[in-house]
Amino acid sequence: MIRLKDVVKSYKVGDNQINALNGVSLELEEGSYATIVGPSGSGKSTLFHIIGGLEEIDQGEVWVDEEPIHQLKDKELARIRREQIGFVFQQFQLLPTASALENVMMPLLNFTSSKTLRDKAAAVLERVGLGDRLDHLPSRLSGGEQQRVAIARAFITEPKVILADEPTGNLDSENGMKIIQLLEDFHQKDGGTVVMITHDLNLAERAEQKISILDGQIVSHDRRILT
C-alpha cells in the first residue's frame, strides 16, 4: 500500500518559491501497476522521490506498507528503502569499476554473508538474462544490459515496490520493451507494486493505472483491468 494525503512540497530557488506538489493525495493498493505521466516540471520526479523516501515533505502524510515515511528518521528511511523499495533510474547509476555481479550485490553488502550474497546476485542476474555477464564491467555492457543489471540490483532485496524513473528513456524500443517486460513480470508473477514515470504514452497505457500530474496536482487517475 502506498498512500499520500494532502502532500505539499516546495523549493526555494533564489528569491522564488517553486510549489512542486500542491496538496497531492494518492492511494495505490499492494500489487498495483501504475504509471505517472505529465510534462516536464509538473511534479512527477518530486512525487517519485517522496514515495521513495528520498525527499522530505513540507506538509501532509506519506505511508508505504503501513510505514509513516513522513515521520521517519534517516536511519529508518534507509531501512525502508533497503527492505521495501527497489529503484530503477534512467541513467542506470552503476559503479563503473564494479562488475555486474558486484553492482547487484551492493544493496546487501553489509547485511548478508558474502557467499550467500554472491549466489543470490548470480541468480537474479540469471533471471534478467545476464547469467553469462557476471564479471563484465558496465563499460563492456550495452545500454539495455546495464539497465537489466540495475533492475537485478533492485530485485535482489526482494522489495514489495519497484519505483522506476524513465527506465527506458536511454534505450531503443527493443531493449526498452525488455525492461518493461521485466517490470511487468515482477508485478504479475511476484505480486509486486510498480510505479513508473514515463513520457511514453504507449507504455503508460500498458499499466492498470495511469496517473496524470500537472502543476503539482493530480489531474486524473485512470484505472482499468488488464486482459
Model confidence, pTM: 0.91
Domain positions in the chain? 2-223
DSSP H helical ranges for the chain: 44-51, 74-83, 100-105, 114-127, 143-155, 173-190, 201-204
Would you say the C-alpha torsion 115, 116, 119, 120 has a positive or negative sign?
negative
CATH fold of the domain at 2-223: Rossmann fold (3.40.50)
Residues constituting the chain: 227
The amino acid present at 178, given as its one-letter code, is: K
Query: What does each of the 227 residues of the chain score in pLDDT, given as a tens digit?
Result: 899 999 999 998 888 888 999 999 999 999 999 999 999 889 999 999 999 999 999 999 999 988 999 999 999 999 998 889 999 998 889 999 999 999 999 998 877 777 789 999 999 999 999 999 999 999 999 999 999 999 999 999 999 999 999 999 888 999 999 999 999 999 999 999 999 999 888 899 899 999 999 999 999 999 886 55
Strand 85-89 to 2-13 pairing? unpaired
The amino acid present at 59, given as its one-letter code, is: Q
Task: Give the DSSP per-residue string, 150-161.
Answer: HHHHHHTT--SE
